[in-house]
Amino acid sequence: MSARILIVDDLAPNLHLLVVKLAAEYYDVLTATSGEEALEIASKERLDLVLMDVMMPGMNGFEACRLLKENPNTWHVPVVMVTALEESKDRIRGLEAGADDFITKPIDDFNLMARVKSLLRLKMVTDQLISHTNTGTGNNRPAFEKMNAKPGNILIVEDHSTRSKKISVPLSKKHSVTVVTDPNLVPAHLKRGVDLVIVSLVSENFDGLRLCASIRHDENGRDVPILVVGDPDDETRLVRGYDLGVNDTLMRPIEIEELKARTQTQLRRKFYADSLRDNFNQNLEMVVTDSLTGLGNRRFFERSIEPLFEEMEAENQVFSIMVFDIDHFKRVNDILGHDMGDQILKEVAARLASNMRAIDIVSRYGGEEFMIAMPDTNEDAALLAADRVRGLIGGTPVYIKGQALHITTSVGVAEVLPNEKLRDVFKRADAALYRAKLAGRNRALSASTKKAA
């Protein structure tokens, strides 16, 4: 199932415009024409994001947002205020009401989708963290508020002193901020620990996008959120930034409250993900890791997908699994040795983990075989995801001890059918994997078709 977004606006043309934009991106869209109706829908429906107009008759958007954030069942749902109000005091009022972000009318498509995707990623991590505590959303709120108040360690990469001060000075009031002008210094800072990197795309002395790519390839930077600052007319490079792993964008000239809001959203996501990893490490009965790759092992996978089978039975929630297998791995071990084979396993595991969604369950199932479960995903969508990741693994060499090794994988994909057990769906996915091997390897096949993605 796609993310579910509620649009709240009293004007039909505005509603229609947003519905068309979001439906075109395959989101499940609900609508409300008043704050009261929005609250009623939120009390009955599972929501992943709310786009709330500010100016409405009766209950305005500020009040509706405040009530959503006070409700123990909906406080964790991100709210974006959609407003024509330009004054900073109005944006501050929205943030004080609990809004996570804001968009100014007329709505720019790129900014809209950037905000939506960024907050939906945060919502997925939030949901996963809540689910692993085994308590209700209301009981989790104090822990989340404590994390939200935590200061972050922010690294700004900007070689223009005036531009860097516009970012560093307001953020320094709450966070620890370091400014570097030389991108070659970034790896050392990542190694010491960074919660957010803010990168300038307008520097004349270094390529900001190249820096973003290098951060994502750095072992210490894979999970660090990246916020890039660019010019509004440079949309092509900003879009490319998302392809390289950028989490959010900020347009110049910088508005201070927007800077703070975007920074806080990314820090929240980082802190939530860190807490989720801590919970995994502290509860070995729930999360048993593979010592080589750091992924969950077979026991972890089998325990983690139990709730998915329960949700499927109770709520008819679809999900799929995929089985990745490294091609010719025995030959690699025989020729290059087991130490080299272990390094390949670790690299493939890292690429799988970094290219799947936060809610996906990724594990090393045994040997050179990896198993992934994708909640709310049918077989066709899972096959596309599997083929994308397969291409990423095979398209970039693995560098080990100075050697560039081209490693490929084969994938079998299967959607879980009603009344199936894990052994049943695994058997079908494994059969699809076997067909992919017979067909020449380095491809993804689904259980219901013999055609590749």
Instruction: Tell me how far the alpha carbon of residue 356 is from its chain's centroid.
Output: 8
State the pTM of this model. Answer: 0.55
**3-state class (DSSP) for residue 227:** strand
Tokens of 24: 């075109």
Tokens of 402: 């100075």
DSSP 75-101: TTS-EEEEE----HHHHHHHHHTT-SE
Cα separations (Å) of 248 from 120, 166, 168, 169, 306?
12, 18, 17, 20, 34
Pick from 370, 332, 333, 329: nearest CA to 352: 370
Q: Alpha-carbon distance 115 to 218, whole Å?
A: 26
The partner residues of 177 in beta bridges, in order of sequence, read 154
Residue 395's φ and ψ, nearest 5 degrees, are -90, -10
- CATH assignment of 153-279? 3.40.50.2300
pLDDT for the residue numbered 450: 47
Evaluate whether 99 touches 80 at the Cβ level (below 8 Å).
Answer: yes
In terms of DSSP H, where are the helices of 218-255? Answer: 235-243
Tell me whether the CATH fold assigned to 153-279 matches the one assigned to 298-446.
Answer: no
Q: Given the structure tokens 């100075």, which residue do they identify?
A: 402
Q: Given the structure tokens 């409700």, which residue do they identify?
A: 71
Q: Alpha-carbon distance 294 to 298, whole Å?
A: 12
pLDDT for the residue numbered 438: 94
pLDDT for the residue numbered 280: 57
Known catalytic residues are: 368
**3-state class (DSSP) for residue 416:** coil
* Average pLDDT, consecutive stretches of 10 residues, N- to C-terminus, the chain (453 residues): 88 93 92 96 95 93 93 90 75 81 83 84 81 64 80 96 95 96 96 96 92 93 92 84 85 88 87 76 60 87 90 87 94 85 92 90 93 94 95 88 88 94 94 95 86 48
**Which CATH superfamily does the domain covering 4-136 fall into?**
Response regulator (3.40.50.2300)
Evaluate whether 215 touches 223 at the Cβ level (below 8 Å).
Answer: no
- Going from N- to C-terminal start, the domains of the chain cover 4-136, 153-279, 298-446
Burial class (CB in 10 A: 0-12, 13-18, 19+), 155: buried
pLDDT for the residue numbered 128: 79
- CATH assignment of 298-446? 3.30.70.270
pLDDT for the residue numbered 218: 93
| Long-range contacts formed by 57-64: CB under 8 A, 24+ apart | 57/10, 58/34, 59/34, 59/35, 60/35, 61/8, 61/35, 61/94, 62/93, 62/94, 62/97, 63/35, 63/97, 64/8, 64/35, 64/36, 64/38, 64/39
Evaluate whether 412 touches 429 at the Cβ level (below 8 Å).
Answer: yes
Evaluate whether 103 touches 81 at the Cβ level (below 8 Å).
Answer: yes
Pairing of strands 79-83, 101-104: parallel
